């Protein structure tokens, strides 16, 4: 049975029990990407799975990563087989969780049953030591299936380049950014500390796009929870007929991990550090784009004075905006960025911190959004309105 609600959006926080580790060690980022995007993680054998009134309760011994609104994969049910497959968690206690299963008969399920955190639906077609290629498994007439090459041989940052297609881990056609635009590829920070000390992070994805939000200074000081947001995948085309080349890779140009908050999805968005493979016409080669919100400036989300301070003086509102890419910074919008909302207000980080949840409004009414805190000017500072803003991610879905 398919879940009665959408399960296309997956997320992971480093604060989850048993979450995959990010750190400043070679190869750690590829392992994290594989767990989140491709295989899933934290497999747990259940001691029971019981249905009552259209609600299934799973019980296990020990701890598990799942949180409310997360997606698990249930396997091994032999009688009430409709319980197998992806399910969205509706409630979580230390060793139990619940999910909706309307129409499934009451009673205990039989089988050798396990759960794990469901993967986002990507593949890893090529890999060698220190390098790997990740690819969306969702391919259709509108596009999909372009490749992200990750070089994780270094310690504190990975190098990233996207390709229209690849035949092995080092060979591809149509790189973006092109070598002349960013030789060796862009940077994605992991940690400011070159060691196995864990760094904090968040990731959000559907089968076509994922966000990487590292918090790299956490390994040096656990009060330093300011991060930055990068990502790769298929955007939401503004063209009714589709735009198969509206695929984006956002990256830093700064070699030093402590400086890699430049030109992200939520800070200093006026610089051209988001590459797409071609123009919408399909002609030419890699195009560099800036990011703009529909409401607000291209500065830091959540420290933007466009709509004043949060909460709004008159309504108490938290205002949210979609954002989009524009080639060379020139309007109009080419494609929207899925799953993310930026905030055209200031002092938001004094109220909202990493992992907090807020209700969606307007087109996201009825959904839940999760908070991260993008750095304003550096990672090595405790989170407050002077050092960080706020960005929101839709964890209910769908994004498209």
CATH code of residue 104: 2.40.30.180
Burial class (CB in 10 A: 0-12, 13-18, 19+), 338: buried
pLDDT tens digits, one per residue of 258-302? 899 999 999 999 999 999 999 999 999 999 999 999 999 999 999
Tokens of 58: 């799973």
Predicted confidence at residue 291, as pLDDT, reads 97
pLDDT band at 140 (very low <50, low <70, confident <90, very high): low
Q: Are residues 146 and 26 in the same domain?
A: no
The gap between the terminal CA atoms of the chain, to the nearest Å, is 22
Residues in the chain: 400
Mean pLDDT over the full length of the chain: 96
Domain count, the chain: 2
Q: Are residues 179 and 90 in the same domain?
A: no
Q: What is the mean pLDDT of residues 112-131?
A: 98
Q: Which of 117, 132, 155 is the last residue of a domain?
A: 117
Q: 294 near 321, Cβ under 8 Å?
A: yes
| Within a domain: 4 | no
pLDDT tens digits, one per residue of 339-378? 999 999 999 999 999 999 999 999 999 999 999 999 998 9
Tokens of 187: 């940077």
Q: Are residues 103 and 133 in the same domain?
A: no
* Residue span of the structural domain in which 203 resides: 122-394
| Within a domain: 323 | yes
**Per-residue pLDDT for 1 more than 70?**
no
The share of the chain scoring above pLDDT 70, in percent, equals 98
| Within a domain: 2 | no
Q: Are residues 235 and 319 in the same domain?
A: yes
**Per-residue pLDDT for 121 more than 70?**
yes
Radius of gyration over every alpha carbon of the chain, rounded to an integer in angstroms: 21
**Per-residue pLDDT for 141 more than 60?**
no
Tokens of 59: 């019980």
Q: Are residues 170 and 102 in the same domain?
A: no
Burial class (CB in 10 A: 0-12, 13-18, 19+), 241: exposed
Q: What is the mean pLDDT of residues 9-34?
A: 98
Tokens of 241: 């007929």
Which SS3 state, helix, strand or coil, does residue 113 take? Answer: strand
pLDDT tens digits, one per residue of 173-182? 999 999 999 9
- Give how far Cα 317 sits from Cα of 246, 264, 275, 298, Å: 33, 25, 34, 21
């Amino acid at each position: 049975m398919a879940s009665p609600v959408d399960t296309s959006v997956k997320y992971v926080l480093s604060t989850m029990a048993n979450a995959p580790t990010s750190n400043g060690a070679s190869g750690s980022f590829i392992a994290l990407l594989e767990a989140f995007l491709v295989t899933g993680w934290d497999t747990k054998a259940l001691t029971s799975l019981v249905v009552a009134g259209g609600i299934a309760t799973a019980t296990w011994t020990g701890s598990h990563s799942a949180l409310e609104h997360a997606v698990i994969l249930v396997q091994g049910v032999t009688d009430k087989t409709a319980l197998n497959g992806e399910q969205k968690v509706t409630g979580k206690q230390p060793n139990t969780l619940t999910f909706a299963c309307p129409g499934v008969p009451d009673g205990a399920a039989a089988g050798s049953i396990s759960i794990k955190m469901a993967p986002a639906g990507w593949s890893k077609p090529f890999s060698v030591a220190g390098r790997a290629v990740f690819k969306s498994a969702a391919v259709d007439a509108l596009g999909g299936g372009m490749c992200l090459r990750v070089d994780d041989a270094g310690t504190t940052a990975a190098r990233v380049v996207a390709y229209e297609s690849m035949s092995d881990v080092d060979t591809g056609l149509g790189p973006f950014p092109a070598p002349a635009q960013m030789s060796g590829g862009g940077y994605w920070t992991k940690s400011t500390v070159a060691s196995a000390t864990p760094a904090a992070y968040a990731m959000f994805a559907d089968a076509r796009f994922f966000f990487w939000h590292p918090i790299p200074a956490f390994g040096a000081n656990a009060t330093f929870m300011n991060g930055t947001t990068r990502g790769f995948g298929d955007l939401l085309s503004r063209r009714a007929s589709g735009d198969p080349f509206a695929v984006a890779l956002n990256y830093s140009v700064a070699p030093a991990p402590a400086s890699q908050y430049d030109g992200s999805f939520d800070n200093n968005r006026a610089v051209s550090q988001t590459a797409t493979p071609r123009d919408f016409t399909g002609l030419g080669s890699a195009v560099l784009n800036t990011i703009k919100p529909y409401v607000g400036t291209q500065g830091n989300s959540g420290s933007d004075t466009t709509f004043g301070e949060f909460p709004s003086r008159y309504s108490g509102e938290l205002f949210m905006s979609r954002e989009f890419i524009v080639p060379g910074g020139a309007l109009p919008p080419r494609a929207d960025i899925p799953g993310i909302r930026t905030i055209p207000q200031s002092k938001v980080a004094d109220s909202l911190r990493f992992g907090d949840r807020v209700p969606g409004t307007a087109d996201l009414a009825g959904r839940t959004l999760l908070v991260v805190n993008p750095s304003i000017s550096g990672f090595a500072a405790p989170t407050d309105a002077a050092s960080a803003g706020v960005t929101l991610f839709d964890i209910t879905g769908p994004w498209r």
